Amino acid sequence: MTAPKLAYISFDIVPALKGAAIHISAFATAIAAEFGQLQLVTVSPTEQLEQSSEFGIQQTALPAVGKTLIDRVLSFRAALWQWLQGRSFDIIHIRSPFEGLPVALHKPILCRHLIFEVNGLPSIELKYRYPKVADDRELMHKLTEQERICRQAADCLITPSPVTQAYLHSLPNSPAVHVIPNGVALDTFYYAPPRSAIASPLKLLYFGTLSPWQGVDLAIDALALYRRDQAAQLTIAGPTRPGQLRTLTKLAHKLAVADHIHFAGPLLPSNLVAQMHQADVIVAPLKACDRNLLQGCCPLKVLEGMASGTPVVTSNLPVVQAIGESGTHFLAAKPNSTKALKDALLQLRYDTTLRHHLSKQARTQVERTYTWKIANQQLLNIYQQLLRSAA
């Protein structure tokens, strides 16, 4: 039997120490293992085209060159369109209109089936990175229109959160929307129980990007509030942009906690897990904003924190409620409330029984529901259904 022709295309650098790259790598590996081969097209980390082949994955990294995001998107699209010439696929799988628009516009000649994996929508997320975008009505119209074209050209949509599913269902003429939650690599994020007694200072860890919707500023505020009565320190691990780092450093100095915060930068998974196990609490104070409330997400940092065995304090948002229960799998504080976050830290500081309960139940929840093995099988089921319908 001839192996199906499959392509997974994303405007992302892969591999990279980011949630998107982890997600793409997990899915790509599963697709290639199941069907024998996959064309993976991503962004080159340099200005040159790069190619590699491993475990059935033929990866082509195309250059995305330019000073602005729009320049880089247009550069990537031009390179992608050239790469697509003379090719056709049974399934093309996209993740955004940045790479997906040319595919959606020319679907009849490029593929039998199109999967649109919606993790984030530029029309909602882009303004957090580029605030002036919110006032650019022409650009916002173009973004929403390109999202619509991709959405309506797709045979099905995939998203990691029921919150995102509900949003997509609210849009006109959307195809079927399948929820495939994010997963955790259990061997990488291995379990270690929390310490029976917490020494001073309380060790807090935030890991991930510093995007405004992540609430890192709330973690710094909560650290300052907590330190009025108790000693504590915060490690922030993840990629940083100069502007983000300046803003958070300025806030830390303003609150007189700069000496108690360590910016560790991006960490390899093994080093990140070591930091997770050294921490007393992992904080993921997601903000109540349209990115989290309307668009939705499946917070990988919460899932990975749950898997590690270190208690997690996060925000009481629908996207968090979708993956677990506060008081059982994590503590979910009132969103955007520094005081509520501080109170949750104090509760964990003094309640040994609660720390151990959260630790055990969180790991069990991840093992039962949120592994890449489970997510991959859900994805493969969709691929198999589409391929059967194309036969």
pLDDT tens sequence across 297-321: 999 999 999 999 999 999 999 999 9
pLDDT tens sequence across 4-23: 999 999 999 999 988 899 99
- What is the Cα–Cα distance from 247 to 28, expressed in whole angstroms? 36
Mean per-residue pLDDT, 98-104: 99
- What is the Cα–Cα distance from 132 to 64, expressed in whole angstroms? 22
3-state secondary structure the chain: CCCCCEEEECCCCCCCCCHHHHHHHHHHHHHHHHHCCEEEEEECCCCCCEEEEECCEEEEEECCCCCCHHHHHHHHHHHHHHHHCCCCEEEEEECCHHHHHHHHHCHHHHEEEEEEECCCCHHHHHHHHCHHHHHCHHHHHHHHHHHHHHHHHCCEEEECCHHHHHHHHHCCCCCEEEECCCCECCCCCCCCCCCCCCCCCEEEEEECCCCHHHCHHHHHHHHHHHCCCCCEEEEEECCCCHHHHHHHHHHHHHCCCHHHEEEEECCCHHHHHHHHHHCCEEEECCCCCHHHHHHCCCCHHHHHHHHHCCCEEEECCHHHHCCCCECCCEEEECCCCHHHHHHHHHHHHHCHHHHHHHHHHHHHHHHHHCEHHHHHHHHHHHHHHHHHHHC
pLDDT of residue 391: 57
| Residue 390 binned pLDDT confidence (cut-offs 50, 70, 90) | low
pLDDT tens sequence across 229-261: 999 999 999 999 899 999 999 999 999 999 999
pLDDT of residue 17: 87
pLDDT tens sequence across 45-60: 999 999 999 999 999 9
| Backbone φ, ψ for residue 259 (5° rounding) | -75, -5
Mean per-residue pLDDT, 318-326: 98
- What is the Cα–Cα distance from 19 to 211, expressed in whole angstroms? 13
Q: Cα 324 vs. chain centroid, distance in angstroms?
A: 17
Parallel, antiparallel, or unpaired: how do β-strands 89-94 and 176-179 relate? unpaired
Q: Point out the least confidently predicted range of 78-92, 125-139, 274-288, 332-346.
A: 125-139
Residue-range domains of the chain with CATH: 6-183+371-390 (3.40.50.2000), 202-369 (3.40.50.2000)
CA angle 227, 233, 238 (to 5 degrees): 135
Taken in order 324, 325, 328, 331, the sign of the CA dihedral is positive
Is the pLDDT score of 187 beyond 90?
yes
**How high does pLDDT run on average in the chain?**
97
pLDDT of residue 1: 58
Both tokens of 91, joined, read 């399934």
Buried b (16+ CB within 10 A) or exposed e, 69-95: beebbebbbebbeebbeeeebbbbbbb
| Backbone φ, ψ for residue 4 (5° rounding) | -65, 150
Q: Which residues pair with 205 in a beta bridge?
A: 235, 282
For residue 52, the tally of other CB atoms under 10 A from its CB is: 10
